Amino acid sequence: MKSKIMKNISLLLSVIVLFSCNQSQQNQTAKDEKASVKKIDSVLTHWIYSSDTDQMRNIINRYATLISVDEQFSIHLRLKDNEFEIFITSNKDIFTDKELLYKFDNDSIIKAYCGKSDDATALFLFSSEIDKKIFKDMAKRSIKEIEADENKFIQNKLGAFKEQLKSHKKLFIEAHLYSKTKQAIFNIEGLKWE
């Protein structure tokens, strides 16, 4: 009788240990899944900010970067040497065209003409070389006047785009890459940039 009780107790303890191990493993798996989702969420939906100081000019350069949901593209805001730029980079391919289609949330699609980096991995929004065509009386003006108007025009466009980034939740883009035309979505909510 004593041995039967001992066997039952042993069996009961084994069941309890197995149940505890299984429960602990389930809890760990749930924690791992939550951590994984949180990691993906923070990578894909949060702006990354950085800055550095130009010691020679005594100015602070600021940067903000966001990766698209599918991790194919990144959008970058850069204030460097007191010049503001916005550019899109491809993380997996090269751009073959300087045209970019974009829209915010459910707004209309807009076509932007961009400057392309030498290695074709970045498109700089609102390139001056293409926007020159809007200045109809260029021949009558000095180069300095044209450049000043172009810079003002581009900075106004960049400022308006930045304000759109701050006031919307999603940015959709379509770009022509070497492999094919691709679309991407950015969860842009929460940009902090003055």
Distances (CA, A) of 120 to 20, 71, 89, 95, 174: 56, 18, 9, 5, 16
pLDDT at residue number 46: 87
Quote the pTM value: 0.66
Annotated domain spans of the chain: 1-45, 46-187
Helix (H) or strand (E) holding 115: strand 110-116
- Which of these ranges, 7-16, 63-72, 153-162, has the smallest mean pLDDT? 7-16
Tens digit of each residue's pLDDT (9 = 90 or more) over 52-92:
998 998 888 999 999 999 999 999 999 887 788 889 999 88
Q: What pLDDT does 43 receive?
A: 46
Reported confidence tier of residue 45, pLDDT bands at 50, 70, 90: low
- Beta-carbon contacts of 114 under 8 Å, excluding residues fewer than 6 positions away, are 87, 88, 98, 99, 100, 123, 124, 125, 126, 127
Query: Is residue 163's pLDDT more than 70?
Result: yes
Q: Name the more confident of 127 and 106.
A: 106
pLDDT at 149: 67
User: Which carries the bigger pLDDT value, residue 129 or residue 165?
Assistant: 165
pLDDT of residue 42: 44
Say which range, 32-36, 63-67, 161-165, has the weakest mean pLDDT: 32-36
- Evaluate if residue 133 carries a pLDDT over 50: no
Range list of β-strands (E), 25-109: 48-54, 59-67, 73-80, 83-90, 95-104
Question: CATH 2.60.40: does it fit domain 46-187?
Answer: yes
